[in-house]
A and B are shown apart, each in its own frame.
Chain A
Amino acid sequence: AQSVTQLDSHVSVSEGTPVLLRCNYSSSYSPSLFWYVQHPNKGLQLLLKYTSAATLVKGINGFEAEFKKSETSFHLTKPSAHMSDAAEYFCVVSDRAAGNNRKLIWGLGTSLAVNP
């Protein structure tokens, strides 16, 4: 069965320091993986997407994520945090099995705080 685990519910960093948001998944097939960001009282915005091309995926706003099949991980990183990065981040997995039963599995989210 598919599942997504975001290993930290809250992460706090100082402005200018690196960001690491961790995501592990399980999937029976070659998954598609996504990271979305949600600012308070807003909808979600796609940060980046992995679909079996390059394992290192670059996204918007300086974020990137590395797909590691051996570790079943898809951690999100950014070299230097900015105050505007404070938001909720969601890791999402979608299987690619044939048929009509594909679905998205959402992680519970990681709240990122950025301190001045």
Chain B
Amino acid sequence: DGGITQSPKYLFRKEGQNVTLSCEQNLNHDAMYWYRQDPGQGLRLIYYSQIVNDFQKGDIAEGYSVSREKKESFPLTVTSAQKNPTAFYLCASSITPDRSQPQHFGDGTRLSIL
């Protein structure tokens, strides 16, 4: 079955540590996205990538970094500069970058501070 796989499901970060969240898709989609979800809020876009070797900042990119070296992979690094990283992180993809296309989501990674 095609889909998006996020790992790990739960992740704990120590003070001053960078952590990387994995996102892999086998849908052959061009576009991929990272969102942050906090309780009582809608999804907020961190970064997106329209095509391999390209990515753009979203609304809340500070303290995060990404790479898109392969079409199927879009890892997100939460750096020590992100002072409030505790949240549920969702990766998504769409067949094209056109925002009228629906997005397909992984099951998320929950990041907490130790």
Binding site for B on A (CB under 8 A): 4, 9, 32, 34, 41-46, 49, 51, 90, 94-96, 102-104, 106-109
Q: Shortest distance in angstroms between A6's beta carbon and chain B's nearest beta carbon?
A: 9
Interface residue B60 (Cβ < 8 Å from any Cβ of A): no
Bound CA–CA A104/B42 (angstroms): 11
In B1-52, which residues have CB < 8 Å from any A CB?
4, 6, 40-45
> Which residues of chain B are within 8 angstroms of A95 by Cβ–Cβ distance?
99
5 pairs of A and B residues whose beta carbons are closest in the complex: A106-B42, A43-B105, A32-B100, A94-B99, A102-B99
Q: Which B residues contact A (CB, under 8 angstroms)? A: 4, 6, 40-45, 88, 90, 92, 98-100, 102-108, 110
Determine which of B4, B40, B42 lies in contact with A43 in the assembled complex, contact meaning CB atoms within 8 Å: B4
Known: A90-B42, A107-B42, A108-B40. A44 touches B99 (CB 8 A): no
Taking CB atoms, residues of chain A closer than 8 Å to B98 are 102
